[in-house]
Amino acid sequence: MQQPLIDVRTLARLTPEPVILDVRWHLTGPPGVEAYRAGHLPGAVFVDLDRDLASAPGAGGRHPLPEQGAFERAMRAAGVSADRLVVVYDDADATAAARAWWCLRYFGHDRVRVLDGGYRAWTAEGLPTETSVPAPEPGGFTARSGHLPTLDADGAAALAKTGTLLDARAAERFRGEHEPVDPVAGHIPGAVNAPTWGNVGVDGRFLPAPLLRDRFASLGATDAAEVGVYCGSGVTAAHEVLALTLAGVPAALYVGSWSDWLTDPTHPVATGP
């Protein structure tokens, strides 16, 4: 598989030009499109995480997998084709961009890279931005699901017993002390807390692969173990899957994550460390 990251200087001199997707998004707002309109990478097309990278909230959680046909239409409208490199970015730490990376990979696009450090790194280098909204030529990408491993609730529960199930949320949410979004605080029994902030430095760039390998190995996540990841709704968990990929550790994503787990009142909830 192609290296999943690209740095700003490499992107700035890259030819032919890739399709660039702006995936800025924050759980509590404001809408990412507002930041996009204020300034974005030249030629970048805005992709709305809630609309284009997820289905409507429901039984599958707050951000279920997008329906295959809907995802294909959204990516084609953004100019995505199978034979053209796609670069995705968000503000800085790839929390949202990783969801786009994961979705594109899951639906069969094998030439996707995340801009390390995102928009913040780009502007810090003094590279140009623009406010005009491009009208990309429609792409020809064909979405075919199943190219990355996933978990459902039963699979996540089983993996927590037989392998390593990482919970990518903040520690206080994992312990059940605070839950700002979902109706119940806590975690899946047997899961190990691995907040995504530990994957990046203060500049939002990912840590070097050896440091990531050491971090995940200390949590029981190695290439010799079966590893899965969840979070609140499958967004930051995609970030963790990306970090694990950099570390050389394959991992399955529980897309529905905690918000899906809670839809079944018989699922147990653990609290504490």
Tokens standing for 21? 């997707």
Token pair listed for 11? 């992107």
Say whether the peptide bond before residue 30 is cis (omega within 30 degrees of 0).
yes
Q: What are phi and psi of 250, to 5 degrees?
A: -65, 145
CB 64 within 8 Å of CB 55? yes
* First and final C-alpha spacing in the chain: 36
Please tell me the number of Cα atoms within 13 Å of 235 on its side-chain side: 23
- Residues 152-184 as b/e (b if ≥16 CB within 10 A, e otherwise) read ebeebbbbbeebbbbbbbbeebbbbeebeebee
Asked whether the beta carbons of 77 and 52 are under 8 A apart, the reply is no
Q: Do 174 and 187 meet the contact criterion of CB atoms below 8 Å apart?
A: yes
User: How long is the chain?
Assistant: 273
The full DSSP string for 222-246 is -TTS-EEEE-SSSSHHHHHHHHHHH
Give catalytic status of residue 231 as yes or no. yes
41, 24 contact by CB (below 8 A): no
Of the candidates 88, 115, 231, 253, the residue annotated as catalytic is 231
Alpha helices per DSSP H over 125-191: 153-162, 171-175
Q: Which residues are catalytic?
A: 231
